[in-house]
Amino acid sequence: MAQKKVAVIAKSSAVLGFLKTFFRSCRTYEATYYSKTGVFVKNLCESPPAAVVVEGALIETVADKVTKCPTVAVISGNIARGVEEVISYNVKQYLYRPYVARDLEFKLESAILEKYTLKKMTDEMKELEAVVALTQLISSTLDPKELLFRIVRKIADIMPVTRCSVIRADWLHRSAFVVASFEDPHIAGIKLNLRKYPEIMESLTSKKPVIIKDVATDPLMARVRKTLEPLGIRSIIVIPIFFRDKVIGTLFLRTSRAERAFIQNEVRLLNTIANVSANALYNAFLFEQVEDEKSRLEKLAITDFLTGIYNVRYFYHRIIEEFSRAVRYGLPISCLMLDVDHFKKINDVYGHKTGDLVLREFAQLLKKHSRKSDVLARYGGEEFILLLPQTPHEGAMSEAERLREYVKRHKFRSLRNKGGLTVSVGVSVFPDGDIKTHDDLIAFADNALFSAKNSGRDRVAVYRR
């Protein structure tokens, strides 16, 4: 498999060193390095790569070009400012110190996948809009159940039939289900045994319309004729629904009539309706799939890949929002910065894989014992950050001590149920004379964490002037 081309623009020796080491050992990607933005932008336009890696400090000079490609930013300076800056240019994938090769690989994969999926979604949505425009005479809804009911009602309005339904067949169990019937919009899910419906079986097998002009004489209906006689049915038609010359799933229109046989014009009309309903039905389900995929991507964009909790990008979004609310209404707000004590020893003794498992278990422990109104995120490495809206000093200290105790008592499965893991916590609280912005709230919690570490670890420290 050919390696995917990646364009890299960076100047920091630390960033370049990390990137060159990564790409030198990577079989998936091949990097081209640039130091001059003019050359970088020119080559980017002439031969777009699979992805772009850009040093965060350079994002402003190339933003209008790189954001058209799957982009990963590497933040080299101040993490808080760097994260805000790349987010402001709509770069969703980024990493910061300490740089981890697996993190970069995941971010590249995510950026490429997201770009591909969004393009696919856009193309499919355009197709959806075009097809829905053609089906407006029959339907104005993308709700599959409502759509199918309107289709069968339309047929019943045109033709005086005794029954008009859409059937979904289940080949595995040789059965079928009524998914829509013109008599009642709530009729759905009625199970049919396909052995009792040879006309449906024949249509499924031949992939062609089946027209029974007279149930009393058609040999196909011989086995079920006695069952149908009391119902007064004379003529039946089953029409498979196709999409682009292929049968889409197992959806079928089925009508039956007691008065006379279907004429050729009616058959042609039913075929036309089947074709139109196929387009609308296919795109109705496509719309649902697109919405599901969109929701999945939105969740991916705010989730830390390793721990499964929020990432720092989402945290900054929430803290800006919550801090503004606290200032506007005079509400207290607190921030906890948590760091696993002596985490390096875990990696040294048990290995990085076990270290990752410990971080994941630690994150889930914090999440389990946090309030629903709190915002928990991975800040970087073994550091985590917790926002406590409407929480004054006493509440923040109580919460910090409670979490510290939970961690100390917890036996980590990934460490073979051994205890001994502790956490240091730094606390900052607004209102405070020194805290003017949300960045101050984070910075002072970080300073308090530093004090807790220097004071012996496994303790809570609060920022004080």
Q: Is 305 exposed, middle or buried (0-12, 13-18, 19+ CB in 10 A)?
A: middle
Report which listed range, 124-128, 231-235, 393-397, is most confident: 393-397
> Residue 438: its pLDDT value, please?
94
Q: Is 307 exposed, middle or buried (0-12, 13-18, 19+ CB in 10 A)?
A: buried
The answer to whether 423 touches 341, Cβ cutoff 8 Å, is: yes
Q: In whole angstroms, what is the distance from residue 107 CA to residue 72 CA?
A: 7
pLDDT at 128 over 50: no
Specify the CATH number of the domain 312-462.
3.30.70.270
pTM score of the predicted model: 0.44
Q: Which CATH superfamily is domain 135-294 in?
A: GAF domain (3.30.450.40)
> Residue 333: its pLDDT value, please?
95
Residue type, 269: L
pLDDT at 146 over 70: yes
> Residue 231: its pLDDT value, please?
80
Q: How far is CA 74 from the centre of its chain?
A: 24
Q: Lowest-confidence range among 164-178, 205-219, 385-399?
A: 164-178
> Residue 325: its pLDDT value, please?
94
> Residue 247: its pLDDT value, please?
55
> Residue 245: its pLDDT value, please?
66
Beta bridge partners of 247: 242
> Residue 428: its pLDDT value, please?
95
Q: Residues near 436 by Cβ (< 8 Å), separated by ≥ 6?
A: none
pLDDT at 217 over 70: yes
Q: Calculate mean pLDDT across residues 386-394.
A: 94
| pLDDT tier, 135 (very low <50, low <70, confident <90, very high otherwise) | low
The reply to whether omega before 70 is within 30° of 0 (cis) is no
> Residue 138: its pLDDT value, please?
55
Q: Which CATH superfamily is domain 4-124 in?
A: Response regulator (3.40.50.2300)
| Segment 162-173, tens digit of pLDDT | 778 877 766 656
| pLDDT tier, 291 (very low <50, low <70, confident <90, very high otherwise) | low
pLDDT at 409 over 80: yes
pLDDT at 394 over 90: yes
Q: Which two tokens stand for residue 63?
A: 């933003």
| Segment 53-87, tens digit of pLDDT | 999 888 888 877 776 788 898 998 888 888 898 88
65 or 434, greater pLDDT? 434
Q: Calculate mean pLDDT across residues 175-204.
A: 79
1 or 108, greater pLDDT? 108
Q: Lowest-confidence range among 180-184, 193-197, 267-271?
A: 267-271
| pLDDT tier, 134 (very low <50, low <70, confident <90, very high otherwise) | very low
Task: Provide the residue ranges of all domains of the chain, joining segments of one domain with +.
Answer: 4-124, 135-294, 312-462
Q: In whole angstroms, what is the distance from residue 427 CA to residue 378 CA?
A: 16
Q: Calculate mean pLDDT across residues 458-465.
A: 85
237 or 126, greater pLDDT? 237
> Residue 154: its pLDDT value, please?
72
> Residue 260: its pLDDT value, please?
61
Task: Return the percentage of the chain with pLDDT > 90, whole number.
Answer: 33
Task: Return the percentage of the chain with pLDDT > 70, whole number.
Answer: 82
29 or 267, greater pLDDT? 29
Q: In whole angstroms, what is the distance from residue 463 CA to residue 335 CA?
A: 10
CB atoms within 10 A of CB 385: 24
What are the Cα distances from residue 238, in Å, to 255, 271, 440? 7, 10, 70
Strands 175-181 vs 51-55: parallel, antiparallel or unpaired: unpaired
> Residue 257: its pLDDT value, please?
60
> Residue 445: its pLDDT value, please?
94
| Segment 324-371, tens digit of pLDDT | 999 999 999 999 999 999 999 888 888 999 999 999 999 999 999 998
Residue type, 32: T
